[in-house]
Amino acid sequence: MEPVLSRDPRTGEVRAEMGLQADTAAVDAAVRAAYATVDLLADRSKRSALLRAAADGVEARAAELIAAADAETALGVPRLTGELARVAYQFRFFADIVDDGAFLGVVVDELDPSAVPPRPALRRWKVPVGAVAVFAASNFPFAFSVPGGDTASALAAGCPVVVKAHPDHPQTSELAAATIRQAAEKAGLPADVLVLIHGYQAGSDLVRHPLISAVGFTGSIPGGRALFDLAAARPVPIPFYGELGSLNPVVVTERAAQARPDEIAAGLVASYTLGQGQFCTKPGLVLVPAGPAGDELTGKAAAAAAAAAPGALLDGRMREHFLAGFAARATAPGVRTLAEAGAAPADGTPQAVRPGLLEVDAADLTGGLLEECFGPVTVLVRYRDTADAEAVLARMAGNLTATLHAEPGESGAAAWLARLSRFAGRVIFGGWPTGVAVAPAMTHGGPYPATTSPTTSVGGAAIERWLRPVTYQTVPPELLPAELAHPGS
Residues carrying an active site annotation: 243, 280
**Cβ–Cβ < 8 Å for 311, 74:** yes
At position 325, the amino acid (one-letter code) is G
Closest CA to 103 of 407, 415, 474, 483: 483
Three-state DSSP class for residue 101: coil
Point out which residues pair with 200 in neighbouring strands. none
Q: Give the C-alpha separation, 463 to 93, whole Å.
A: 11
Provide CB contacts within 8 A for 415, sequence distance 6+: none
Main-chain dihedrals φ then ψ at residue 483, nearest 5 degrees? -65, -25
Point out which residues pair with 218 in neighbouring strands. 243
Side-by-side strand order, sheet with 194-197: 194-197, 161-164, 132-135, 214-218, 240-243
Q: Kindly state the helix (H) or strand (E) to which residue 206 belongs, with its residue range.
A: helix 200-208
Q: Give the C-alpha separation, 150 to 459, whole Å.
A: 10
As a three-state string, the secondary structure of 374-435 is CCCEEEEEEECCHHHHHHHHCCCCCEEEEEEECCCCCCCHHHHHHHHHCCEEEEEECCCCCC
**Cβ–Cβ < 8 Å for 241, 276:** no
**Cβ–Cβ < 8 Å for 305, 339:** yes
**In this structure, are strands 122-128 and 107-109 parallel, antiparallel, or unpaired?**
antiparallel
Three-state DSSP class for residue 152: helix
